[in-house]
Structure 1
Amino acid sequence: METLTEVTWLPVCKTTDIPADGGACVLVEGQQVAIFNFARRGEWYATQNLCPHKQQMALARGLLGSAGEACEPKVACPFHKRTFSLLTGECLNGDECAIQTYPIKVEGDDVYIGWL
């Protein structure tokens, strides 16, 4: 049987705090979270800010793009060029490392992430 976890929606920033087609870091419950405004796609994403490859807080400064025929949204670490799915957190370079992703929603000019 699957256990459902209730999500708490936390306000983290304003839409104007995040650059179009870029990201920024916010502090949530003592953890760094990268928020991405993928404006070209009209989509928002949230992940951990820590790049697991070299343990650097860098993903919010990463480059956004799309991978494969399905055009899966991704972020590339600005230092190591490891790419991660913004949907699943999976490393798209074939490495076994992955990142945490979070639910995100925008209401008006407020950005919220789902915190479990």
Structure 2
Amino acid sequence: MEITTLKPSTMNWFYACKVTDVPANGGVCVKYGEEQIALFRFARRDTWYATQNLCPHKQQMALSRGMTGTQEGEPKIACPFHKKTFSLSDGRCLSDETECGITTYPVRIEEDHVYIGVHAG
């Protein structure tokens, strides 16, 4: 699986939820059509991240329930099942360079509403 980081200029932005729907320093799963997207709020950094919800190792929709944190300053998510860690910035696997990465999506906040950018087309 190739890592995909979508660029904001080629995006269709969809309304995901209200800011208050996402726990501080935690994540939720958002549905977009048939796709599941994990949305994370780093309250202590005042930043937001979105990735695929599917763990590439166990093929389970679980990343939104993982533990967030940082590794050498890099925001990360750890799968709740096997603890593999992935960069929330670019999707690469941080715990094993031979493992495949995950898709990341841009996030935009407007007036207490969270929007996620998905590939146009």
Given the two structures, how large is their TM-score scaled by the length of structure 1?
0.91
Q: Residue 108 of structure 2: SS of its match in structure 1?
A: strand
1:42 aligns with 2:60: no
Q: How far is 1:96 from its partner? A: 2.2
Deviations 1:14-72 (A, max 9, x none): 1111100000001012100000011111100000000101101110011111112xx01
Equivalenced residue count is: 111
Instruction: Give structure 1 regions of 4+ aligned residues with deviation exceeding 6 angstroms.
Output: none
If asked which structure has higher relative contact order (CA below 8 Å, sep 6+), I would say 2
1:24 aligns with 2:28: yes
1:66 aligns with 2:65: no
In structure 2, list runs of 5 or more residues that go unmatched: 1-6
In structure 1, list runs of 5 or more residues that go unmatched: none
Alpha-carbon distance in 1 for matches of 2:10, 2:58: 32
Alpha-carbon distance in 1 for matches of 2:91, 2:59: 15
> For residue 17 of structure 2, what is the amino acid of its counterpart?
C
Which of the residues 82, 95, 103 maps onto 1:100? 103
The sequence identity of aligned pairs, in percent, is 59
Alpha-carbon distance in 1 for matches of 2:83, 2:60: 13
Alpha-carbon distance in 1 for matches of 2:89, 2:34: 23
Alpha-carbon distance in 1 for matches of 2:27, 2:78: 12
Given the two structures, how large is their TM-score scaled by the length of structure 2?
0.87
CA RMSD of aligned residues (A): 1.2
